[in-house]
Structures are given as C-alpha cells and as structure tokens.
Amino acid sequence: MHWLFNLPSALWRRLMLLFQGVAALLWLIARGIGALFGRGGTIGSRLGAAIASPAGQRQVFALLRLFQPNLVLKRRIIAAYPNNGITAIATRRADVVDILGRDADFGVVYAPRMEKITAGENFFLGMQDSPRYTRDTSNMRLVVRRDDVPSIVTPYVANAAAEIVAMVPGVIDVPKALTQPVAAGLLDRYFGTPGPSEAAIAEWTTLLFWYLFIDLQADPALDARAEAAAAALRSWMDGHIAERRSQPHRDDVLGRCLAMGDAAMPGMRDLDIRNNLIGLMIGELPTLSAAANLALDELLDRPGPFAAACAAARDGDDATLSAHIFEALRFRPLNPVIYRRAMHDTAIASGKLRRRRIAKDSIVMASNLSAMFDPLAIPDAASFRVDRPWESYMLWGHGMHSCFGGHINRAVLPALLKPLLAQPNLRRAAGVRGRIDQAGTPFPQHLHLEFDS
C-alpha cells in the first residue's frame, strides 16, 4: 500500500521535472532571440555567454534532466586527459550518485598531470581504489585531524578574518585582501607550508589547480606555466622540509608528517610527504578563496537572503549564516561537473528508460550542479531555501574521492565571511569594481565591496 501513499508526491515531482524543463526551454529560446538581436560579439558568442553563466548552466541542465538525462555526445570535450572522444553528461541526481559511487566502472583521470606536478608519483585524487589509495589517505587523515577543525582551523580563520576586516577602511577587495590571505595563512599556521611568500603560494596553487581540473583543452601555454610553477613548488618544499627536519618538530600538519616519517611509517618518506602536501595545498587555497567569493557574490545578487545572512553574522547566529552560505553555493558551486573515465564498456541507469551504454574510455561528466537542482530528489529545488538537510548539497563531490577537506570547508567558509558580512551597510562598490574579476584566471581575483566604517 505504501506506493499508493507515495503516488501524489511522485506525481508532483514528475510535474516539477516537466515544469522546470519547459521553463528552461522557454528561457533558452528567449536568450536565443536576445542573442540574435543583441550587440557586441557574434550571435554564437552572445548565446554562449548566456548559457555559460551560472543561471544559463542551470537552465541547460533542467532541459537535459527532462529530455535527455544522460546525454552521450560523439565529441571530445576533454583533451587534457586520454579518452576515446565520446563524452556523456549525466544530470539526474540518482545517476550522478551512482556514477561517483562506481569506482570500478568510472575511474579518476587525473594521474598523468598529478605525476607531472610531482615529477614522479601520483597523488591520491589521481588513484583508483587501491591499497595505495587507502594508505595515503589514511596517512593524511592522521595528520589532518577532524578534531583540529573546531580547535585550530576555525579559530585561526575567524580571528584572521576579523583582524583583516577591522583594519580595512570601509572598502575591501575580497579575494586579494581577505580570502586569499586567510587561506594562505592557514597553509602557514596549520599545514606548516607557507611557501616563500603569500603571492607565490597563491599563484602556484591557483595555476596548478587550473591545470589539473579546469584546463580541459590542454592549452600548451598553460602547460608551460604549470610545469614552471610545479618545479618551483617542489624545490621550495624540498628545501622547507629539510629545514624543518633540522628543527624540533612542531605540532602542525608537516610536523606530524615528519614525526610519522621518523617512525618509518610506510608512505611517509620525505618525498611522499612532499607530494601529499603539494596535493593538499593545491586543494586548499584556490578552492576556499574562490568558493567564499562565489557564495558572497550569489548572496549579493539576492537582497532578501543577503540581508538575512548579514543579520545572522551580526547576531552571531552561525547556523543561519552557514545555511545561507551553502544554499548560495548550491546556485554557484565551484565546479558544476565532476568527470570520470569509463574503465570498461558499461552502462548508466541500467534498467531505466534513460539507460545509456557507455563505451570504455568515454569521459563521463556527472553534474553535481544538476544533481542539486533535480526536482525528483530535491524538494522545491528552484527556490533559495535555508532549511535544506545537509545531504541535499553536493558541493565537494561524492563517493570515494569526495573532498578530503569537506569538514574544513563547512567550518571555514562561514568563519571566513562572517566578519565581513557583519559590517554595516555592506554593498558592492560601484561599477565593474563591484563585480567579480577573474583577471584571466578561472577564479575570482577581485571583488570590491564597501561598508560604513
């Protein structure tokens, strides 16, 4: 009998799927007409810009979820990693979760570029499910401890962000003055790996993140810059580890690694420590800084939620503040898709009408953005709501490779933004200065805000 009770809600969800898909179609037709009669650039570039915008991406995924939930294209979208020239895009939450959970069928692709960065060994994000993956992640979990989040990481970030905001005279370039310095400060104070300067470590980790995850077309110019940055980072890390070895061990991530190396733990030679920490540094700085700015930008575009987030920051209501920040990120996640490669001939959504065969070596893009807007799984998906269960979010991946820093992110992002959001009359600076400027990178590099000091 249960199915009978579930029927109305199942029908309602299907109706929402239909409604979202048709609304998306109308949105895209309207943008197409706008592009036809618009100014600046070609029709294609105008339409491309509309579709590539966060709102545009959401509309495209809504259309796909309805009409072609698992789209298979005979098109090479990724040139940076080997594949057979076929790309599948999965948009329904059930299929995204399924793909990211099937490590034996859909493997990570990143090994070749990880090995270039370390000039040798792979890093665990580039590894398939293997004893080596378990060893390396276990070692890193022993040094980056969940207990540290409330006792070391969050207090550091909260204090550093508050000190910075207290020093600025009513106008702040958020990435440069707040989010990058605090993320770099965390690398120094907690990880023990500050780099030769804040500017150098920000530049190297940003470039290497771009190279690993965003440079889908394998731009040769970026390749050269990434190789130079990787060589500089390796060389600095080697010198730094040698220097730290000559001192009594400190209780930070590097110090704990060195102590494990002293105990001859497998996978903790100095070279292993260097490579693992390089992976964590690339994962830490550009992501935390970018995600904080994306959340802030999305909130600034939504006057009601922005005012509520500012009020929560002023009142010290951390739960409400966090709920606003993560809901903003649902609309603007750092990455809209997570990609894998089929390890052998297989299928997505077996036993369903939307089933698609996937040939060995096809790239499979599982869209976490789309999964977070799938009305079949997420109630009232199109609305900005701050009462969603945490499980609704898929901001840092899913399954075996889901973000190593997940607990850090959840605590750090609100702590990083809280002092700024608490400022009176916080607003965008006038004109383009008040908008995100990526300065030729894929990440926010400038965003000027003002407040009454």
According to CB under 6 A, which one of 237, 254, 325, 334 is a site residue for ligand HEM? 334
Take residue 85 and report the two structure tokens written for it: 């020239």
Q: Which of 53, 2, 54, 61 is nearest to 365 (CA)?
A: 61
Q: Is 338 in the site for ligand HEM (CB under 6 A)?
A: yes
- Near ligand HEM by CB under 6 A, which window of 37-45, 166-174, 240-248, 394-402? 394-402
Smallest distance, Å, CB 282 to ligand HEM?
8
Residues β-bridged to residue 339 = 365
Site for ligand HEM in 180-209 (CB under 6 A): none
Chain-centroid distance, C-alpha 421: 22
Q: Report how many residues bind ligand HEM under the rule CB under 6 A.
A: 24
Compute the Cα dihedral for 119, 120, 123, 127 and give only its sign: positive
46 within 8 A of 35, measured Cβ to Cβ: yes
What does the alpha-carbon distance between residue 183 and residue 173 come to, in Å, rounded to a whole number?
A: 15
Contact criterion met (CB below 8 Å) for 291 and 413: yes
Task: Tell which one of 196, 267, 405, 434 touches ligand HEM (CB under 6 A).
Answer: 405
Check binding of 409 to ligand HEM (CB under 6 A): yes
Contact region with ligand HEM (CB under 6 A), list: 241-249, 308-316, 333-341, 419-427: 333-341
Which residues on neighbouring strands pair with residue 341, listed in sequence order? 107, 363
- In the complex, what is the shortest distance from the CB of residue 25 to ligand HEM, in angstroms, rounded to a whole number? 29
| Rounded (10°) CA dihedral 418, 423, 426, 429 | -100
Strand (E) or helix (H) holding 186: helix 180-186
What's the closest the beta carbon of residue 184 comes to ligand HEM, in angstroms?
Answer: 12
d(CA 120, CA 111): 10
Q: How far is the CB of 271 from ligand HEM (least distance, A)?
A: 18
In angstroms, rounded to a whole number, what is the distance separating the alpha carbons of residues 282 and 265?
Answer: 24
In angstroms, give the least distance from the CB of 368 to ligand HEM.
Answer: 7
Interface with ligand HEM by CB under 6 A: which range of 159-167, 255-263, 356-364, 392-400?
392-400
Contacts with ligand HEM in 134-163 (CB under 6 A)?
137
The DSSP output letter for 146 is T
Per-residue binder mask for ligand HEM (CB under 6 A), 237-276, x = binder: ----------------------------------------
Nearer Cβ to ligand HEM (101/120): 101
Tokens 């339409």 sit on residue: 47
CA nearest neighbour of 279 among 401, 189, 369: 401
Distance CA 99, CA 365 (A): 9
Nearer of residues 313 and 338 to ligand HEM, judged by Cβ: 338
The stretch among 278-286, 301-309, 420-428, 445-453 that binds ligand HEM (CB under 6 A) is 278-286
- The smaller minimum CB distance to ligand HEM, of residues 208 and 395, is found at 395
Cα–Cα distances in angstroms (integers) from residue 390 to residues 48, 91, 290, 330, 395, in the given order: 33, 20, 21, 11, 10
Least Å distance, CB 172 to ligand HEM, is 20
d(CA 411, CA 394): 16
- DSSP helix/strand/coil, 55: helix
Please report how close the Cβ of residue 95 comes to ligand HEM at its closest, in angstroms. Answer: 15
HEC string of 258-316 equals: HHHHHCCCCCCCHHHHHHHHHHHHHHHHHHHHHHHHHHHHHHHCCHHHHHHHHHHHHHC
404 binds ligand HEM (CB under 6 A): yes
Q: Site mask, ligand HEM, residues 281-310, x = CB under 6 A? A: --xx--xx--x-------------------
105-124 residues near ligand HEM, rule: CB under 6 A: 108, 124
Q: Is 125 in the site for ligand HEM (CB under 6 A)?
A: yes
Q: Do 324 and 292 touch, CB atoms closer than 8 A?
A: no
Q: Which is nearer to ligand HEM, 17 or 184 (CB)?
A: 184
Closer to ligand HEM by Cβ: residue 35 or 292: 292
Residues 51-110 that bind ligand HEM (CB under 6 A): 108
For residue 401, state whether it binds ligand HEM (rule: CB under 6 A). yes
Closer of 261 and 279 to ligand HEM (Cβ): 279
Binding residues for ligand HEM (CB under 6 A): 108, 124-125, 137, 279-280, 283-284, 287-288, 291, 334-335, 338, 395-397, 401-405, 408-409
